[in-house]
Amino acid sequence: MAPFHKIQDIKKLKLIANTIRRDVVDMLTEAKSGHSAGSIGLADIFTALYFNVLYHDPENPEWENRDRLVLSNGHVCPVMYAAMANAGYFPKEELRTLRKLGSRLQGHPHRTALPGIENSSGPLGQGISIAVGMALYAKREKKRWRVYCIVSDGEQQEGQVWEALMLASKYKLGNLTVIMDRNNIQIDGFTEEVNPLEPIIAKYQAFGWHVEEIDGHNIQRIIDACNQAKAVYERPTLVLAHTIPGKGIPFMEFLTEWHGKPPSPEQAAEAYKILELDRAGIEEL
Amino acid sequence: MEKTKYIESPEEKKATRDGFGKALLELGEKDPNVWALSADLSGSTRTEWFANRFPSRFVQAGVAEQNMAGVAAGIASCGKRVFISGFGEFSPGRNWEQIRVSICYNDVPVVVHASHTGITVGPDGASHQILEDIALMRSLPNINLIAPSDILQAKKATHLLYEQNMPGYLRTSREKFPTFSSEETPMELGGSNLFEDGDDVAILACGPMLWQSLLAARNLKSKGISASVVDVYSLKPLDNKMVEEMANKTGLLVTAEEHQVSGGMGSAVAEALTAHKTDAVLRRHGIYNRFCESGSAAELMRKYKLDAAGIEEIVTEEVKKNKG
């Protein structure tokens, strides 16, 4: 069983991220509900993961030696679905069924609904624990695969997160990489106003974690940080990825109001124009 | 329903949590895929026996029940069969939502074992006497619930929940109670055992209240009241057929459990009754919408009328009222 072909060419990866952004806008507009800003802001990270970092096989989602990707902040699943469809897990036409009756693309991901989804999620704070369980199993049974867990920043306010961080450190889970989407927003406003997280890096370090701090829109840096984590001896790694919510769609960027709403058809048309221009710019690289 | 034999004068007293501990050891021996987790209570929950024998398949999660449930789900999603243990107050009391989404909705084979449930926890007092766990767990989809009534049944229940290869909940007790069943006593999903067969009233009990009900039935007999006693160990799925049969046969059901009367086994029986055309009366006996207190298990069972004398009193009252 051959794992998925890893794309190294950054230009190609940027074009994929551009496509994924377009897909997410389309899905949310069609669904008429869902979380825009976080999903679009994570397009570069999901592109890096599904098209370079992860060992996986879209034709065989249950491949035993695949890396595990645990999505903890399930509300950003549109970007995951879009990345999966573009990677070949299922036909792209299915993306437009998001949040509709009978769809495999549930509003928050469901493990048994869609092959390739490792965990049902939605209630925040649960993903890291599941990822710790997987990584602990893999370590004890000497599996070569790694565990990646995507978390939001607002989610760090859940106490369960810190329980999981402690245990990961106790069991020296060097095979676990948590990628935090540090976009500074949550439903009620900015994280630092709702319930401050800072100094978040120092907190993770105090819990025994190695930390890589990156620009979450620089695909090369995302890949490098995930590779760097593999070289860290017996410590789990946090990749603190600074992102801009809604990145790439200027009328959404930085605005907390875009956390939990979809674009209107008019706004979507505007977004497509912007993304077309971006695409042309990437082609010229 | 056929009557199931039991030991009428049991000699030994043992705790159902020990039955879990022994079964977990057996399963660990039999299946290398069995893992166990504890949240700083491996001794009390008897998970320690497994931990000592199979350290590489044991995870000490510390005082962190929410994380324990999630870690278990992660391990189970890799094809393992996982048991998590704690006092009922903390697990499922503290981590119900993790059990709901990470375990039940994820559909991974994790069995949640609550070792210290009900008022028989005793001197620790009301904070530790979970009386709401059946209500919490019974409402969840995709999980089986068993509350065994003695150590042998607890052993069998552990094996039974493991065999289902899906989420499970096992409710055991801290205190030692008489071992009145045998290796042959049935333990099936959706099953129940009729230990005493009588026509005037059917006492439906689970956990430690089962033995107390058997004793109560003897005293009732000397008063001229003939009582059936059924062990309703399978709380989910419930033996609906038994409920219908007992309702038709006796016309009067009394449930007895160390749980709030709201949401517990008695409520499950009430729900089952609504599906049948019946004039039968149901009295749900248990803890009536309150917190209890410190004391020995025996003292508390006496005070809250969940010992043989208390159950006898409740049943007599109901028989007088309804069959007068």
Q: What is the pLDDT of residues B107-118, one digit of tens each?
A: 999 999 999 999
The phi, psi pair for A11, rounded to 5°, reads: -60, -45
Residue type, B13: K
**B56 interfacial to chain A (CB closer than 8 Å):** yes
Partner residues linked to A157 by β-bridges? none
Read off the pLDDT of each residue in B299-324 and give the average, rounded to a whole number: 96
Q: Considering only CB atoms, which chain B residues are within 8 Å of A136? A: 59, 71, 74-75
Which is the CATH superfamily of the domain at A10-283?
Thiamin diphosphate (ThDP)-binding fold, Pyr/PP domains (3.40.50.970)
CATH number at residue B223: 3.40.50.920
* Residue of chain B with shortest Cα separation from A69: B74
Q: Does the model's ipTM exceed the 0.85 cut?
A: yes
In a domain, B8, yes or no: no
Is pLDDT above 60 for B134? yes
Sorted by sequence, the CB contacts under 8 Å of residue A209 that are 6+ apart come out as A165, A168, A169, A178, A235, A236, A237, A238
Q: What is the pLDDT of residues B70-106, one digit of tens each?
A: 999 999 999 999 999 999 999 999 999 999 999 999 9
Q: What is the pLDDT of residues A57-88, one digit of tens each?
A: 999 999 999 999 999 999 999 999 999 999 99
Tokens for A196?
Answer: 């401050």
Is pLDDT above 50 for B188? yes
Residue A4 pLDDT: 75
* Residue of chain A with shortest Cα separation from B107: A112
Is pLDDT above 60 for B323? yes
B167 & B200 share domain: no
Q: Considering only CB atoms, which chain B residues are within 8 Å of A160? A: 64, 66-67, 70, 98
B183 CA: distance to closest CA in chain A (Å): 35
A115 CA: distance to closest CA in chain B (Å): 13
CA dist B281 and A197 (Å) reads 57
The residue out of B178, B213, B233 marking a domain boundary is: B178
Paired sense of beta strands B201-205 and B252-260, if any: parallel
The residue out of B178, B208, B228 marking a domain boundary is: B178
CA dist B309 and B215 (Å) reads 8
Tokens for A169?
Answer: 């450190």
Pairwise CB contact (< 8 Å): A126 & B98:
yes
Residue A1 pLDDT: 43
Using DSSP's 3-state secondary structure scheme, residue B324 falls into coil
Tokens for A96?
Answer: 């437009």
B252 backbone φψ class: left, alpha, beta (φ>0; ψ -120 to 50) = beta
**B73 interfacial to chain A (CB closer than 8 Å):** yes
Q: What is the pLDDT of residues B197-216, one digit of tens each?
A: 999 999 999 999 999 999 99
How many structural domains compose chain B? 2
B121 & B18 share domain: yes
Least Cα distance to B85 among B190, B168, B209 occurs for: B168
For tokens 């949640």, the residue is B112
The phi, psi pair for B170, rounded to 5°, reads: -115, 125
**B98 interfacial to chain A (CB closer than 8 Å):** yes
Sorted by sequence, the CB contacts under 8 Å of residue A199 that are 6+ apart come out as none
Residue A3 pLDDT: 57
Smallest Cβ–Cβ distance between A133 and the set B66, B74, B101 belongs to B74
Q: What is the pLDDT of residues B8-65, one digit of tens each?
A: 999 999 999 999 999 999 999 999 999 999 999 999 999 999 999 999 999 999 999 9
CATH number at residue B47: 3.40.50.970
CA B268 to chain centroid: 13
Residue pair A19/A83 in contact by the 8 Å Cβ criterion: no
Pairwise CB contact (< 8 Å): B74 & A120:
no
Q: Considering only CB atoms, which chain B residues are within 8 Å of A125? A: 66
Least Cα distance to A72 among A35, A109, A125 occurs for: A125
Smallest Cβ–Cβ distance between B71 and the set A110, A118, A136 belongs to A136
B155 & B271 share domain: no
Domain that holds residue B104: 13-178
**B99 interfacial to chain A (CB closer than 8 Å):** no
Least Cα distance to A127 among B138, B130, B73, B233 occurs for: B73
B171 & B34 share domain: yes
Tell me the domain boundaries of chain A.
10-283
Averaged pLDDT in 10-residue chunks for chain A of 285 residues: 78 98 98 95 98 96 96 97 97 97 97 97 96 98 98 98 98 98 94 98 98 98 98 97 96 90 97 98 94
Query: What stretches of chain A show up as alpha helix (H) in DSSP?
Result: 10-31, 36-41, 43-48, 77-87, 127-140, 159-170, 191-194, 200-206, 219-230, 265-283
In a domain, B279, yes or no: yes
Q: Considering only CB atoms, which chain A residues are within 8 Å of B102? A: 119-120, 126, 129-130
pTM, 2 dp: 0.96
